[in-house]
């Protein structure tokens, strides 16, 4: 059956909050000497609010991914994450972000295995013939471990930034219980899980093998994932960066369970799972590379097979300290970063216009703007941050926005002219550089 891509959703964007306007005014002064960078920032920083966010009558917020009429759990968080540091004193921004958190919890309670949802129960689907348990709210039902991690990330960071606890209602507690139960099941996917996914659209790579069950895995303590953050199927179903993300998400859930819900048995249960996941990564997720030393694999199956690569999507190997700052000085991460930013990574490309990480999701020699932004965000050297900003500034193909992938030799060849997540990640990098006095 043909993939459903239309119609486009008509959005009523909220008014730009005062704090967002203040950042744009600051940029007018700080970036005055770099007019092209200023124009990019003017376009990209408010892009989510101006083109992708919709305030719903039920008090929630719907954020579509851009050129597809659906809301991805992962994308929608990263589309607004650069606004979270501004939210403490801005009720307008609190309404937007708090509303998105509430909608995420509702989505998780509808289907914790889905990655993308509709605005209403309109029964729109990316592919109505998918071999999985679809529902009218679900746009796509690819189980990606990182999806619910991002929901936790937004709630936790918003709580820490604002001190507001009104998001932690009964539905939030139910969603927490659902997340932990699903992850417990997926620690033993082959034995316990009823999740299956096949796609009958002539593209065999969209289906999980073995009747939709996926390739066999050994028990490790890590959590199984059917698909990567790129929405592509995993080769080996323990995605290591996603499991590191799950570990820090469990730590954050534990803190919420302890200080908000005062549920000590749940706190202990969450802590046990975090320890299991971290031990699984330590025992099964590290590969002894002959050139770089111990590095995190991108994927493993627990049987000694490894996928050694990095993908431009988040979570990826490069983004590990972005999601868990405690790992910024991890020597295994340092080795992994050198691997990811080298030709040993099969999706690292160098060309006349840029060098950086791409993805099997896009053609060969296509570098992703998101990967350049993430390299800057995770760089410890200010010179590297500025180098990434200059590279991003030079590769927008004159459009004034970021894209998905672009050809390493010719940025005018690119994918996705409207990719809001990429605009947001670029904005986060530039705004941080402004706050650090680099711009």
Reported as type and span, the H/E element at residue 71 is: strand 71-72
- Max distance between CA atoms of the chain, in angstroms, equals 60
pLDDT of residue 13: 62
User: What is the DSSP code (8-state) at residue 158?
Assistant: H
Give this prediction's pTM. 0.95
pLDDT of residue 15: 84
pLDDT of residue 1: 27
Is the peptide bond between 7 and the residue preceding it cis, with omega within 30 degrees of 0? Answer: yes
Reported as type and span, the H/E element at residue 117 is: strand 116-117
Q: How far apart are CA 13 and CA 67, in angstroms?
A: 16
pLDDT of residue 285: 98
Q: Angle between the 170-186 and 91-110 helix axes, to the nearest 10 degrees?
A: 50
Q: Angle between the 145-162 and 240-259 helix axes, to the nearest 10 degrees?
A: 40
pLDDT of residue 203: 61
Residue for token pair 């990640």: 425
Q: Are 227 and 115 in contact (CB under 8 A)?
A: yes
SS3 376: helix
Give the end-to-end CA distance of the chain in Å, rounded to a whole number: 50
Mean pLDDT per block of 10 residues along the chain (439 residues) reads 37 81 98 97 97 95 91 98 97 97 98 98 93 96 98 98 97 98 98 95 78 97 97 96 98 98 98 98 98 98 98 98 97 98 98 97 96 98 98 98 97 94 98 97
**Count of alpha carbons within 13 angstroms of residue 124, beta-carbon side:** 16
pLDDT of residue 12: 57
Q: Which of 296, 254, 298 is nearest to 272 (CA)?
A: 254
Q: Are 404 and 311 in contact (CB under 8 A)?
A: no
SS3 29: helix
pLDDT of residue 97: 98
Give me the DSSP letters along 188-230: THHHH-----B--SS-GGGS-TTTTT-S-----SS---SB-TT
Is the peptide bond between 103 and the residue preceding it cis, with omega within 30 degrees of 0? Answer: no
**How do the domains of the chain map onto residue ranges?**
18-435
SS3 359: coil
SS3 16: coil
Pairing of strands 306-307, 299-300: antiparallel
- Tally of CB atoms within 10 A around 137: 18
pLDDT of residue 418: 87
Question: Under CATH, what is the fold of the domain 18-435?
Answer: Glycosyltransferase (1.50.10)
pLDDT of residue 177: 98
pLDDT of residue 14: 73
Q: How far apart are CA 212 and CA 216, in angstroms?
A: 11
Task: Give the distance, in angstroms, between the CA of residue 134 and the centroid of all CA atoms in the same chain.
Answer: 23
pLDDT of residue 6: 35
pLDDT of residue 9: 46
Q: What token pair was written down for 189?
A: 């996917």
């Amino acid at each position: 059956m043909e993939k459903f891509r239309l119609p486009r959703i008509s959005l009523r964007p909220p008014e730009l909050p005062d704090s967002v306007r203040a950042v744009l005014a600051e940029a007018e002064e700080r970036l005055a000497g770099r007019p092209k960078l200023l124009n990019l920032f003017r376009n990209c920083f408010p892009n989510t609010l101006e083109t992708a966010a919709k305030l719903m009558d039920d008090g929630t917020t719907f954020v579509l991914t851009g050129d597809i009429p659906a809301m991805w759990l992962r994308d929608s968080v990263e589309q607004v994450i650069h606004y979270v540091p501004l939210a403490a004193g801005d009720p307008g921004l609190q309404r937007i972000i708090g509303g998105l958190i509430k909608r995420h919890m509702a989505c998780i309670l509808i289907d914790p295995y889905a990655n993308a949802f509709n605005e209403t129960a309109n029964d729109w689907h990316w592919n109505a013939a998918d071999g999985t348990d679809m529902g009218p709210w679900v746009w796509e039902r690819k189980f990606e471990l990182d999806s619910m991690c991002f929901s936790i990330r937004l709630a936790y960071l918003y709580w820490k930034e604002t001190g507001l606890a009104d998001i932690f209602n009964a539905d939030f507690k139910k969603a927490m219980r659902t997340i932990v139960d699903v992850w417990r099941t997926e620690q033993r996917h082959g034995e316990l899980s009823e999740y299956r996914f096949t796609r009958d659209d002539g593209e065999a790579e969209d289906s999980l093998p073995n009747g939709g069950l996926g390739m066999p895995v050994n028990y490790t303590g890590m959590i199984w994932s059917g698909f990567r953050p790129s929405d592509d199927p995993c080769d080996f179903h323990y995605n290591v960066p996603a499991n590191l993300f799950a570990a820090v998400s469990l730590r954050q859930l534990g803190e919420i369970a302890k200080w908000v819900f005062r549920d000590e048995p749940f706190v202990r249960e969450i802590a046990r799972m975090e320890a299991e996941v971290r031990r699984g990564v330590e025992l099964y997720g590290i590969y002894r590379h002959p050139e770089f030393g111990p590095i995190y694999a991108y994927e493993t199956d627990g049987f000694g097979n490894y996928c050694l690569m990095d993908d431009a999507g988040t979570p990826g190997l490069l983004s590990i300290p972005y999601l868990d700052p405690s790992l910024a000085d991890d020597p295994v991460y340092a080795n992994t970063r050198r691997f990811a930013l080298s030709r040993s990574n099969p999706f690292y490309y160098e060309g006349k216009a840029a060098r950086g990480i791409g993805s099997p999701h896009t053609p060969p020699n296509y570098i992703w703007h998101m990967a350049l932004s993430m390299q800057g965000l995770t760089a410890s050297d200010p010179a590297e941050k500025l180098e990434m900003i200059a590279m991003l500034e030079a590769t927008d193909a004159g459009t004034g926005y970021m894209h998905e992938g672009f050809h390493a030799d010719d940025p005018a060849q690119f994918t996705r002219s409207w990719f809001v997540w990429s605009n947001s990640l670029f904005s986060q990098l530039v705004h941080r550089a402004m706050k650090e006095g680099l711009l």
